[in-house]
Amino acid sequence: MRLEKCWFCSSTIYPGHGIQFVRNDAKIFRFCRSKCHKNFKMKRNPRKVKWTKAYRRLHGKDMTQDTTFEFERKRNRPERYDRNVVENVLKAMPKIVKIRTEREERHHKERMKGKKGKLAKEAKQELQQGIHLVKAPSVLQEEPSLTLPKIKVKVFQPQSEENHAMEE
């Protein structure tokens, strides 16, 4: 029994599911459900459809390079049955799955984390630059408690000092 992958969305096709299209040049296209088949008939490119694995891989949403991907392969050769090997494989499978899910979770966490810090930094910088739009510089001078703690941005510091000097 071979578990095939869907041409469009790369999900696993279990026996008795989906549909298969054989083109007149003998190329086989397998689809997991009518959704994928319809999208294929509409000539959509899976790399441009956001919910497919191909898109997610290409755009760094999912983990791309990992050692756990080396285990599942299409083997186009007969394998001699060996009871010990089968036993070991069965023992290893849940471990590999566990490792992979852990790594995927870490990848997702990493991906979500990165943007938050960047956004916060950008917002802080914008506030620093545009504070004169919220409060007039003269008011700020009178009440130093309103000013934000300074971030070290080299380009803007000499300018602000100059401005203060001018007002004085």
Q: Work out how close the CB of 79 gets to another protein at its nearest, in angstroms, rounded to a whole number.
A: 9
Does residue 107 contact residue 66 with C-beta atoms inside 8 Å? no
Contacts of 132 (CB under 8 A, 6+ apart): none
In the DSSP assignment, the letter for residue 111 is H
Q: Work out how close the CB of 89 gets to another protein at its nearest, in angstroms, rounded to a whole number.
A: 15
In the bound state with another protein, the residue whose beta carbon lies nearer, of 59 and 164, is 59
In the bound state with another protein, the residue whose beta carbon lies nearer, of 62 and 160, is 62
In the bound state with another protein, the residue whose beta carbon lies nearer, of 23 and 152, is 23
In the bound state with another protein, the residue whose beta carbon lies nearer, of 10 and 128, is 10
Does residue 5 contact residue 13 with C-beta atoms inside 8 Å? yes
- For tokens 């290893």, the residue is 92
In the DSSP assignment, the letter for residue 147 is S
C-alpha 10/C-alpha 40 separation (Å) is: 13
Q: Work out how close the CB of 39 gets to another protein at its nearest, in angstroms, rounded to a whole number.
A: 11
Q: Work out how close the CB of 77 gets to another protein at its nearest, in angstroms, rounded to a whole number.
A: 4
Q: Three-class SS of residue 13?
A: strand
Q: Three-class SS of residue 151?
A: coil
- What are the residues binding another protein (CB under 8 A)? 5-12, 23, 25, 27-30, 43, 45-47, 52-54, 56-57, 68-77, 100
Q: Work out how close the CB of 49 gets to another protein at its nearest, in angstroms, rounded to a whole number.
A: 10
Does residue 85 contact residue 75 with C-beta atoms inside 8 Å? no
